[in-house]
Amino acid sequence: MLKAKPNLELRIRTLKRDWAIVYDMLSEKKIVALPVNSNIVVSLIMKNLLPSMQKIEPLGKMLKQ
């Protein structure tokens, strides 16, 4: 078993949670009225999310191994 597996699972859960927040904010499914600072929140999430996503191998490559 890989020692990095729990860390990867945690990062994937974090990415899923952050992406769900961004998706909900942009699609307005769960939020009736977006707060004034919603653009700031989305930009902060994306600023932190994108660099870590670029470092992670695409999921398809990991599953094929």
pLDDT tens-place string over residues 1-59: 556 677 778 888 888 888 887 777 777 665 555 555 666 667 777 777 766 666 666 55
Spatial distance between the Cα atoms of 49 and 63, rounded to a whole number of angstroms: 21
Q: Give the tokens for residue 55.
A: 């470092």
What's the domain range around 42? 5-64
- What is the number of structural domains in the chain? 1
Spatial distance between the Cα atoms of 10 and 61, rounded to a whole number of angstroms: 19
pTM: 0.38
Question: Maximum CA pair distance of the chain?
Answer: 46
Residue with tokens 């653009």, as numbered in its chain: 39
Q: Give the tokens for residue 2.
A: 């890989």
